[in-house]
Structure 1
């Protein structure tokens, strides 16, 4: 056995953890069981209740919690204050409703099982706090973090993270009444609440006025590794500040991310923190697996089995009822139910606090902790069952697909769907050096059969853009078919690669205006030109001379460009107001348009209303 002060005292557990992860996770992913279950199984196998290669899971869990902290920081970077404010109704409406309903149902379960009211409430409140790590990791792996139903779950998780503060205070209030202790008083508790509020205020003020100047200074005079150190300092420092204030470390990291979400350095911060986040989050799941006390489970297997099932079913019923009550569809409600029906890491904190105050004893703490951990283990299996029942498509294989790495070229094209394929033909016809990336494996493989060389890569990731040659490209063409994805790519490129010309496929008129405001060099609505050509041919089919049809479409194109300019400078409402004015005093028609109107008396009204419906 290595001496506690020797270098191997740290290296041996680290090697053990990494080896277990490298063996278990690929096997579980190959079996389509997911990486989370792989980490949990690896932790259980090497922990004190498995092979006993590691005997102190609590120490590793404390370090591994930094993975959750960094994950919340990255989520905060995506949550700009305006966006967070727009979610306020979901956070304090949907979130409060779900927490309240589920706490009530689970407390009734505890009372039915014979627990005293205070103990039943604490057990229920701990289980209500869903695992942020599991839900966020699952949403990220499935690419659903920014979808509407994903944002609802994120909002609920934020409310639950906030709820840990009043719940801990409530445990302190309940303990003297149950145990007869007199050492707690109202003044000390109110002081603790005030300290918590003050720590949040101090973090917000410090983050708003100190963080950007700090990163500007380091960017000007520091080395790249110093920027990475500063990113870690901000994350860990913010987490520590709020923990010292009586709040959660995760909430401190999330607030720091929100404060930096509008910084010009946010993409660099995300790239710096990402590697640490991934490995530490995996370590967290392994530590949770190691913490499952199998002796407690064996000794109380009937109680554990009944309460795992009862708590998960009761919480699931509450989640489903709230989802349906707030007008979510059956499929979305079922997915949210299965994803959030487990307990979470904050339950460990709440149960430990209740044990320290004498509200519950050590045996109850161990039993409740085992119930929560087993529920966390069951969640990936439940989601697997749901995907099997709805016949979801299997994960894509990267066999035979090249990953973007170390590429160069004068043109970088992101997205090789129908739009990108047509654009690429013009570039390749003139022998331009084009690098093309896409994240659709089946499309890449199909394109390869036609001689196209497409690299696999996610254009919304800064490291992928760098590997694909964005830093040296003269022109970057964003040809993806999803508006939110295009917006994120544009934001990244404008911030990190400002010297490259940026051409973007636009989704509709509103998107065009937004892209022009972002300062892209060129954009075009994906259906505009094809629709105009289609309209021209339709006029010819009606018997209108081809030259008149061409002039009419040309006039439409000019009017559309004029309206866009007006909306850019005076806003959409001004453009709508102008259209109403045009209907009262129409502008003079061109000769081709006048002839077209003679055939169709309502043509002018159609032209005036064009911007309401154009793509």
Structure 2
């Protein structure tokens, strides 16, 4: 029964993470802070986990590795190359300037060697926390999200030289930190080239063979193997393991098995990231905080203010808007998980006293816990002042049997039907806020306007069997229909119509199907009202069906009358509103006989601006 304590600890961690993650998500604070709170409560507060915190933290760091792999899958080499200015410009400037400022401040209290390690260690931000926050809100594809990601990517690269320089700073000499000695440049370059060659020429044929076997567990095992093997190779080559997984993901971004890999890895990513955040809470030393509480409480906000104050002007210098610069500054002010690695190595090399190392870990951990708060402040101020940043147009993975343009209320309901049937659906929308909101529920929506030919091409319109136009305004809808009719005449168009005039305009353009947005809901509403007044269901259905049939016949008459007149939604009074049944005086008995259609209006006659009874 020696395994019983370990088994009980695993249950405690899982249970605590489930309860705290759910609770904090429900109250709007995010799962990250929930996992951190669970770790603090289970470990330092209740002391239910007595050992193994460091091992749990190392296991949880695999979540960061899997996260970077999935992010790599979403990035093509062309997009990564497009970010080179932010990565090697803004990222380098952030690490250099923030590290120099913090080093200068720490030299007032400690040696220059220790100050250098502390300054540049605290300059690094948390990849796990920042990316998790951005992913939860669907903001990773926004302009500021890409800039934040570029900074984090360079910071992952920066840990390599920072570890390599420790022997030069150690008073005990290189022997005390031999484990951190720089790896041979030839070995590093060779490992990187080997990973690129294998990723580009071997992995695709390998996954094709595995997919043909039909064994899902084999594909899952292969996905895990690729991530861990690439991470290990880069780790042995002197890079961070997360960087290796990211490179592997980028190399597989063009693969036809990209979505399968992402689906297989994502559950492990979420579970291990949660474990990482819980482990950070477990490793918090409350005795150090209790003995030096004023340093932690003062040092944490000072650290975050300094990092934000450096990041904001740097982002502006590199061409970001006020909103993007503010969001980046307030999503990356925390310390990072790589600081734990650097401070631990520095303590082993006698550069930092052990007590100071523990205090720094407490500051970094508390700054991580405050990240959701700073991110909230960034969203609050930026939205109020300048509105939401538009996401970048990225159509990686787009293209399916159905292309839906517009994802407002009408499109959302229609999409539920289509997705529930198991059909593939590509959704295109131009509202950044709508895209972010939908991303929280797992929808994959591409940012772009249906009025642009190149956007339609990138969204896979040539592959689509049906294009569903579900945009809000009739003018926009008609312009989209005209564009698709002119450029892609063979595409079948299913269109959301605004009213009767819009329906006639769309029919003249030869759409395969159109429906007025309020027709069916109004008919259902009327039927329900009849049942509430004593009609049985069959009677109410008969009345509703009769109205539906007569309305369809009326549309056909009006369509024949207006054919060839150049129907346009810009001429809303072209069709005269005509009631289907004859109006009756109040108190008269209901008629069950079908009323004849009114005679057509004289040619050229204009209607009065009265509301149309049946739209």
TM-score, scaled relative to structure 2: 0.68
Q: CA deviation at 1:506?
A: 3.3
CA deviation profile, 1:104-128 (whole Å, cap 9, x unmatched) = 111122123x211121111011111
Q: Which residue of 2 aligns with 1:95?
A: 91
Q: Which residue of 2 aligns with 1:252?
A: 244
Taking the aligned partners of 1:182 and 1:337, their CA distance within structure 2 comes to 39
Q: Which residue of 1 aligns with 2:146?
A: 151
Q: Which residue of 2 aligns with 1:514?
A: 458
Q: Please say if 1:365 is aligned against 2:357.
A: yes
CA deviation profile, 1:338-394 (whole Å, cap 9, x unmatched) = 2100001011111122122222222222111111111111111222344556788xx
1:172 is paired with a residue whose SS is helix
Q: Which residue of 2 aligns with 1:232?
A: 224
Q: Cα gap change, 1:279/1:415 in structure 2, threshold over 3 Å: closer, same or farther? A: farther
- After TM superposition, list the pairs within 5 Å mapping 1:561-580 onto structure 2: none
Q: Which residue of 1 aligns with 2:172?
A: 179
Q: Which residue of 2 aligns with 1:436?
A: 414
Q: Which residue of 2 aligns with 1:417?
A: 408
Q: Which residue of 2 aligns with 1:589?
A: none
Q: Which residue of 2 aligns with 1:43?
A: 39
- After TM superposition, list the pairs within 5 Å mapping 1:84-233 onto structure 2: 84-112=80-108, 114-175=109-170, 178-180=171-173, 191-233=183-225
CA deviation profile, 1:149-206 (whole Å, cap 9, x unmatched) = 111111111111111111111122222xx33556789xx9565444333322221122
CA deviation profile, 1:263-298 (whole Å, cap 9, x unmatched) = 110100000111111111111100001111111111
Contact 2:30 2:372 in 1 (8 A): yes
Q: Which residue of 2 aligns with 1:354?
A: 346
Contact 2:182 2:238 in 1 (8 A): no
Q: Cα gap change, 1:231/1:75 in structure 2, threshold over 3 Å: closer, same or farther? A: same
Contact 1:505 1:525 in 2 (8 A): no
1:47 is paired with a residue whose SS is helix
Q: Please say if 1:295 is aligned against 2:295.
A: no
Q: Which residue of 2 aligns with 1:277?
A: 269
Is the deviation greater in 295-304 or in 410-419?
A: 410-419
Q: Which residue of 2 aligns with 1:58?
A: 54
CA deviation profile, 1:454-503 (whole Å, cap 9, x unmatched) = 57xxx9xxxxx5xx332xx4xx564542499999xxxxxxxxxxxxxxxx
Taking the aligned partners of 1:557 and 1:237, their CA distance within structure 2 comes to 47
Q: Cα gap change, 1:375/1:191 in structure 2, threshold over 3 Å: closer, same or farther? A: closer
Q: Which residue of 2 aligns with 1:603?
A: none
Displaced runs of 4 or more, over 4 A: 180-185, 188-191, 385-392, 410-416, 476-479, 483-487, 515-518, 522-527, 529-535, 556-562
Q: Please say if 1:262 is aligned against 2:254.
A: yes
1:506 is paired with a residue whose SS is coil
Q: CA deviation at 1:26?
A: 2.0
2:107 is paired with a residue whose SS is helix
Taking the aligned partners of 2:165 and 2:152, their CA distance within structure 1 comes to 20
2:414 is paired with a residue whose SS is strand
Is the deviation greater in 343-352 or in 195-204?
A: 195-204
Taking the aligned partners of 1:139 and 1:158, their CA distance within structure 2 comes to 15
1:233 is paired with a residue whose SS is helix
Is the deviation greater in 121-130 or in 412-421?
A: 412-421
Q: CA deviation at 1:93?
A: 1.0
Contact 1:107 1:121 in 2 (8 A): yes
Taking the aligned partners of 2:45 and 2:237, their CA distance within structure 1 comes to 35
Q: Cα gap change, 1:275/1:295 in structure 2, threshold over 3 Å: closer, same or farther? A: same
Contact 1:46 1:54 in 2 (8 A): no
Q: Cα gap change, 1:518/1:164 in structure 2, threshold over 3 Å: closer, same or farther? A: farther
Q: Cα gap change, 1:166/1:505 in structure 2, threshold over 3 Å: closer, same or farther? A: closer
CA deviation profile, 1:485-532 (whole Å, cap 9, x unmatched) = 999xxxxxxxxxxxxxxxx993412223334686334558889x9669
Contact 1:483 1:507 in 2 (8 A): no
1:337 is paired with a residue whose SS is helix
Contact 2:16 2:42 in 1 (8 A): yes
Q: Please say if 1:77 is aligned against 2:84.
A: no
| Structure 1 unaligned spans of 5+ | 393-409, 422-434, 438-453, 460-464, 488-503, 536-552, 565-591, 593-615
Within the candidate set 399, 403, 421, 1:469 is matched to: 421
Q: CA deviation at 1:308?
A: 1.7
Taking the aligned partners of 2:428 and 2:342, their CA distance within structure 1 comes to 45
Q: Cα gap change, 1:524/1:513 in structure 2, threshold over 3 Å: closer, same or farther? A: farther
Contact 2:326 2:382 in 1 (8 A): no
Larger radius of gyration: 2
Q: 1 or 2, which has the higher helix percentage?
A: 1
- After TM superposition, list the pairs within 5 Å mapping 1:494-533 onto structure 2: 506-515=450-459, 519-521=463-465
Taking the aligned partners of 1:11 and 1:534, their CA distance within structure 2 comes to 63
Taking the aligned partners of 1:418 and 1:34, their CA distance within structure 2 comes to 26
Q: Cα gap change, 1:184/1:15 in structure 2, threshold over 3 Å: closer, same or farther? A: closer
Q: Please say if 1:327 is aligned against 2:319.
A: yes
Taking the aligned partners of 2:485 and 2:360, their CA distance within structure 1 comes to 69
Contact 2:75 2:250 in 1 (8 A): yes
1:436 is paired with a residue whose SS is helix
TM-score, scaled relative to structure 1: 0.68
Contact 1:320 1:336 in 2 (8 A): yes
